[in-house]
C-alpha cells in the first residue's frame, strides 16, 4: 500500500492506495486520520493526479474526479457508495431519499451507517447527504461538511 500526507486549507489529509486505485482519503479529525501503517510506502508521485484533482476541487475549479477509486466494503456499502456518486455537484440528498432511490425503504439508518463508513470522502461525495432536519454528521466534522456544501453552492446561504 502507498500513501501520501499533505496539508490543505482544511487541515492535513492522507491518501492511501495501490495499483487498483485509491483506497482511502483520511480527513483531519476523523477516525481514519493518523499515522500510516508501518508496511506502507510513502509515494507522492503515485498520487500526483489524485492530489491535482483534489486541489482543483477544493479551489472550486473541478466538479468531478477521474482517478480510479477502489474502496473496500460490504456489498451493501458498495451499493450505497455508488449511489453517492450519483448525487450531482451542488445538490444534496437525505438519508431517507437515498434509501428510496436504492430500493431500501425504511433503511435510512443503515444508509447512514454505510455513508459514515465511506473510506473516500470528497471523491465519493458523502458530504452531499444531509439529515431530514439539518446538516447531519460527517467524518471530517461539521465545519468541513459546511465548507464543502458551501463550495458547491448546495447549502442554504451559500
- What would the pLDDT profile of 20-29 be if each residue is shown by its tens digit? 999 999 998 7
Residue 132: what pLDDT? 84
Residue 157 pLDDT > 60, yes or no?
no
Helix spans in the chain (H)? 48-58, 75-85, 95-101, 108-116, 142-152
In what helix (H) or strand (E) does residue 144 lie, and over which residues does it extend?
A: helix 142-152
Average pLDDT across the chain, whole number = 93
Active site residues: 126
Domains of the chain, residue spans: 2-58, 75-152
What cell numbers appear for 11 in the block? Answer: 487541515
- What would the pLDDT profile of 79-138 be if each residue is shown by its tens digit? 999 999 999 999 999 999 999 999 988 888 999 999 999 999 999 999 999 988 888 888
According to CATH, the topology of domain 75-152 is Arc Repressor Mutant, subunit A (1.10.10)
Instruction: Indicate the CATH number for domain 2-58.
Output: 3.30.160
Q: What is the mean pLDDT of residues 51-67?
A: 97
Same fold, 2-58 and 75-152: no
What cell numbers appear for 66 in the block? Answer: 477521474
Q: What is the mean pLDDT of residues 128-153?
A: 90
Amino acid at each position: 500500500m502507498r500513501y501520501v500526507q499533505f496539508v490543505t486549507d482544511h487541515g492535513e489529509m492522507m491518501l492511501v492506495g495501490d495499483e487498483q486505485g485509491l483506497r482511502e482519503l483520511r480527513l483531519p479529525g476523523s477516525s481514519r486520520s493518523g499515522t500510516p501503517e508501518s508496511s506502507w510506502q510513502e509515494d507522492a508521485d503515485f498520487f500526483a493526479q489524485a492530489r491535482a484533482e483534489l486541489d482543483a476541487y477544493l479551489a472550486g475549479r473541478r466538479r468531478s474526479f477521474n482517478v480510479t477509486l477502489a474502496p473496500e466494503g460490504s456489498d451493501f456499502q458498495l451499493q450505497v457508495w455508488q449511489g453517492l456518486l450519483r448525487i450531482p455537484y451542488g445538490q444534496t440528498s437525505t438519508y431517507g431519499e437515498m434509501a428510496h432511490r436504492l430500493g431500501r425503504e425504511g433503511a435510512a439508518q443503515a444508509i447512514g451507517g454505510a455513508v459514515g463508513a465511506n473510506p473516500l470522502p470528497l471523491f465519493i461525495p458523502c458530504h452531499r447527504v444531509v439529515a431530514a432536519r439539518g446538516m447531519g454528521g460527517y467524518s471530517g466534522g461539521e465545519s468541513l461538511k459546511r465548507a464543502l456544501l458551501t463550495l458547491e453552492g448546495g447549502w442554504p446561504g451559500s
